[in-house]
Structure 1
Amino acid sequence: MLSKLTGYQKELLAHIEFMGRFYGVVSRADLTSRFEISDASATRTFRIYNELAPDNIIYRPNIKRYEWQEGAQPIIPVSTAKCVSTLTDGFGDSFAHIEGQAIAIKNSLFNVDLNILSAVTRAIRRNQVISISYLSKSNPDGSTRDIVPHSIADSGLRWHVRAFDRKRNQFIDFVINRILSVTKSTSQIISSEEKAKADDDWNTFVELEIQPHPRLQGSTNVIAHEYRMEDNLLCKRVRRALAGYLLDSWNIDVSVDALLNGDHIMLHLRNTSTVHFPNKHLAPGGVPDST
């Protein structure tokens, strides 16, 4: 039946599947607002989708939405790049961006596992605690831990989920591609200390003052023009939790005396002595921030 549908009908079905898969719920309003179709057309589209995939979404009268089922199998082929682009940029035009979604930065070096990513984004939307099997340097064979995820961020090199880790009793970052599996935790009571509002490093922004590297004085004007600096300075306001990752991906020297060499190091963090954030040691020339 899918092969007999028009391209426009497949686009409608793809929207249902994307919203359900990545945000956990989808409604007729999602179709009517995105495609400017009538309620009757939206209802027919959901009927078609249910005929094609009867076990993927179930209508919940109490919330007046269709709920994505954990064992659902997507039926519309879609590329990882397209899903990631939609999560970061919205649905392809200036009027269709998703408001209020916790996607911080885009630009990814590698593709993410869509099944893992969608399980995490559904947990964020549903305010759920999830159990993950996670690979780390300290546990290369994997360990299980319960986390309370609240945001997704692309650091420029890889995708992270920002979450409260009940094992460490603090907010930390988990690399999406190190997660082997995701299941719903048996403990779903979330305290105020585990919610996004309590994550100070995520909610606090720092100002990064980026300048041409002092060792490249002969090329200062070139670098300043390339990065559209004003008075040889580019200011970037970023989340404190992400600053170390971003400076690393941008190859910005954060050493106090601007000591680094290399053709790839053209920029320096001018205010490195006064700006403080976790994971500063990840940036070129960085050392752990003791503040």
Structure 2
Amino acid sequence: MTLPNPPMLPWHRMGVLAFYSVFFMGAPTLGFTETINIDAASMTSRIGQMERRIMALEAAGLRGGASGGGMAVADMELRLQTIEEEMSTLNGAVERLSRVAQTLAEKMEAQQKDLELRLQDLEGKVRSGVAASAGGDASPASHGEEAAADTPKKTELPKENAVPEGLEAQAIYSKAYGYLTATDYPNAKIWMDAVATRYAENPLADNAFYWLGEIALVQGDAQGAAVAFKKGLTAFPKGQKAAGNMLKMGVALDKLGKKDLAKGMWEKVLKDYPKSGEALKAKEFLAAGKGE
């Protein structure tokens, strides 16, 4: 009696090929880091090995025929079960890599937003400096008129003083960040402060303290900035914004005339975070003679 081909073999082979195709379609997305690339190459190799094993089992099923009997079929089914389990494991690994890729993408987006905000602040300062230089020859009376004209403009933006109760940390932070990118600093300060006070142990509070310090610097409140950056360092000494808090606390101290303390903060940035962007900025400050 000739045994037919094991009925499950074609399905398993199609499953492997489909899995193989989907994996490669997603490979560019997973290529964020060298570790992910290494894992992907390893899984690709393992999938190829499983495909070759299935082909070998198919060939064995055809050659074994009647001589193998039921034992041959049972053996092949056992091997297929093993391969199926391996495929399940690989599928879980791919899902984990996808989550890692998504997390990296979100971090890159957050960093881009931070850079855009800093550029906006720098552009605003440059425009303010140009305007001040252009008006340098104005009479005292005209200066007074300009100051009087500017006064109502500062109060035109309505403050949403009450941050609703029951909002999650992420919801409050997103609202605060929206105000921040719109340069609505009064409302941004209110909502960032709500994150820092209501969710003091949430990692978003680390970001909130940093932005509270930045807002204070933009508004010319060096003392308030130093307090905010210090709170961030105290609450999150190893947090995501630790290097930034340390660097900008040095800036605030420098503005307050505490040159030695400012220099010490920048030197600590170089020591604790030597490969960070903040370390490069600290080098620039020290090389420019700030803190002296």
Q: Normalization by structure 1: what TM-score? A: 0.24
Which structure features the higher share of helix residues? Answer: 2
Q: Which has the larger radius of gyration?
A: 2
Higher relative contact order (CA 8 A, sep 6+): 1
Task: Kindly indicate which of the two structures has a greater share of residues assigned to strand.
Answer: 1
